[in-house]
Chain A
Amino acid sequence: MESHPTYKGVQAICQKYPKLAGSFFQVYNDILLSQGWKDVKVIDVEQVGRAVIYGKRKADEPELVVVPCALSESISIEWFNSIFKNLSPEPSEIYVAITSEDSSNVYYKISKGIVKPPV
């Protein structure tokens, strides 16, 4: 992992949250290189104990926030509450990137409140 060309950019975050480093780096590379998002930023959210990734799918699209999460983690309503509360500006939706050890990433949109699916 450390010898990967993009590692330098997120080394600090990976060292700060070592247990989540694998999952985080996997999502970071996926967003940056594979999905090819623009204006990719990494923001450290200490209150939640992890870093999140901001970016745009295309240059003219709105900015989205991605929260990496390993399949082995435990989450709860409080986990969601805390993430939404501690991001600024508070988003109406986040994208949870669930990673697995076989390098698969799946992205799910979590909206706060009762939000109808698109028709």
Chain B
Amino acid sequence: MGFTPFACEVHHPQHVPRLTGTQPLYPMSKKIPLHISNDRAYIWDAEDARNIRENHHITGALVGTLPSVAQQNVFLGLPLLLMPEEAVYLVEKGVAVMLDDAHAHHLPTSEEVDQWREDVRTDRENRLQAQAAARKAKEQKTEKNLSEAALRKRREREEKKTAKLLAAASADRDGNELLTPGDNDPQTPPATRSGARDETGHTIIIPATASDHPWFQPQIYETVQEAKEAGIWSCPSTPLERAKCAVFKDLIQKGYFLGGGMKFGGDWLVYPGDQLRYHSHFVATVLATPLSKMNPMEIVAHGRLGTGTKKAHLICGWDEEQQHVDYYSIEWANFG
């Protein structure tokens, strides 16, 4: 598969320098953090999104804009929005915890801000040095292949460019003050400074998750019940929601992948494997109890739509007493 759904311009947090001397963000349980905001569960880390997909059959839905192609919504990026049943499943399984995201963003102290600026600066300098070294290595490599005359012409061109940029750079100085207060040192030899600007752009790394900042201090809930009691999460709170969570778990444990069913008039689309590789065979609808009423017209509607799209409709009935799911598959009979 050439297409990676999580490829995006936002860099993995490991590229941001680790801040020392701050307390660890999460208790070292290594559970996946679900950022809860407005009763919805989001995953902001690409590795976590991949982990739940590969190891737990949970796909979620990407709902973020891709920074490099913002004017379209066919390909979306992080965050990953989970269905309530997916979030409940992961927390009950013990692989994820819920964070109260809305109240986790505190104001940084001035020391934390200074440290942050310092780290950004150091990172940028390291980056520029690495780029300069790489560039030099490349130049040395190409110089070996060029003739004397060609080399001379090249150097003359470069010097002209440098001189031009030098003139532009002195006018440009004020723009960078906020990020690098120490950079406007007039002692810095102009050649190296503008030389660095000349060949290489300056990359600003935006961390994908707030969790890299020491001022992000979330309240963490290890169980669904605790999150509900704290008032940040509500599912499941009705018999139908309970039924949906139970049926969801049953289908996942049977090895299916589940996606949203709105496009086909059901609760979920049921895939025999990863959505990127398979078409779904079923549209599933959940009934809260064995006695919950359906009318025959629904059978007609579900059955007809399913058959027209090479799927069957799956009616899932949750029996709370027996702790058991009854499944019935509906298809048009092809006669009559």
Residues of A within 8 A of B (CB): 30, 35, 57, 69-71, 73-78, 80-81, 95-98, 105-117, 119
Contacts A35-B336, A78-B290 given; indicate if A110 touches B328 (C-beta within 8 A). Answer: yes
Q: Are B295 and A114 in contact (CB under 8 A)?
A: no
Contacting A at CB under 8 A, from B293-336, are 293-297, 299-300, 303, 306-307, 310-312, 314-315, 317, 319, 326-336
Interface check B287, CB cutoff 8 A: yes
Rounded to whole angstroms, the CA-CA distance of A78 and B290 in the bound complex is 5
Q: Are B293 and A76 in contact (CB under 8 A)?
A: yes
A11 → chain B, closest Cβ, in Å? 24
Question: Which of A75, A81, A111 sits near B326, CB closer than 8 Å?
Answer: A81
Question: Which of A77, A106, A114, A117 sits near B317, CB closer than 8 Å?
Answer: A77
Q: Are A76 and B287 in contact (CB under 8 A)?
A: yes
Interface digits, B248-288 against A, CB 8 Å rule (1 contact, 0 not)?
00000010000000000000000000000000011000010
Q: Are A108 and B329 in contact (CB under 8 A)?
A: no
Q: Are B294 and A76 in contact (CB under 8 A)?
A: yes
Question: Which of A73, A106, A116 sits near B336, CB closer than 8 Å?
Answer: A106
Interface check B291, CB cutoff 8 A: yes
Q: Are A108 and B331 in contact (CB under 8 A)?
A: yes
Q: Are B290 and A73 in contact (CB under 8 A)?
A: no
Sample of 10 further A-B pairs with CB below 8 A, known A76-B287, A108-B330: A71-B297, A76-B317, A77-B326, A80-B328, A106-B336, A108-B299, A108-B300, A116-B312, A117-B281, A117-B331
Contacts A97-B336, A113-B327 given; indicate if A70 touches B314 (C-beta within 8 A). Answer: no
Question: Which of A76, A97, A111, A112 sits near B291, CB closer than 8 Å?
Answer: A76
Rounded to whole angstroms, the CA-CA distance of A107 and B336 in the bound complex is 6
Contacts A105-B336, A108-B333 given; indicate if A77 touches B287 (C-beta within 8 A). Answer: yes
Q: Are A77 and B292 in contact (CB under 8 A)?
A: yes
A58 → chain B, closest Cβ, in Å? 11
Residues of B within 8 A of A (CB): 254, 281-282, 287, 289-297, 299-300, 303, 306-307, 310-312, 314-315, 317, 319, 326-336
Question: Which of B281, B296, B328 sits near A112, CB closer than 8 Å?
Answer: B328
B237 → chain A, closest Cβ, in Å? 22
Closest A residue by C-beta to B331: A109
Q: Are B315 and A77 in contact (CB under 8 A)?
A: yes
Closest A residue by C-beta to B316: A77
Q: Are B330 and A74 in contact (CB under 8 A)?
A: no
Rounded to whole angstroms, the CA-CA distance of A107 and B334 in the bound complex is 8
Q: Are A117 and B310 in contact (CB under 8 A)?
A: yes
Q: Are B299 and A98 in contact (CB under 8 A)?
A: yes
Q: Residues of A contacting B310 with CB < 8 Å? A: 117, 119
Q: Residues of B contacting A76 with CB < 8 Å? A: 287, 290-294, 317
17 cross-chain CB contacts under 8 A: A69-B296, A76-B290, A106-B336, A107-B332, A108-B300, A108-B330, A109-B303, A109-B330, A110-B328, A110-B329, A113-B327, A114-B254, A114-B327, A116-B282, A117-B281, A117-B312, A119-B310
Q: Are B300 and A106 in contact (CB under 8 A)?
A: yes
Contacts A95-B333, A117-B306 given; indicate if A111 touches B296 (C-beta within 8 A). Answer: no
Rounded to whole angstroms, the CA-CA distance of A97 and B297 in the bound complex is 11
B328 → chain A, closest Cβ, in Å? 5
Q: Are B282 and A108 in contact (CB under 8 A)?
A: no
Q: Residues of B contacting A95 with CB < 8 Å? A: 333
B94 → chain A, closest Cβ, in Å? 27
Rounded to whole angstroms, the CA-CA distance of A76 and B287 in the bound complex is 9
B109 → chain A, closest Cβ, in Å? 56
Rounded to whole angstroms, the CA-CA distance of A115 and B306 in the bound complex is 13
Closest A residue by C-beta to B302: A108
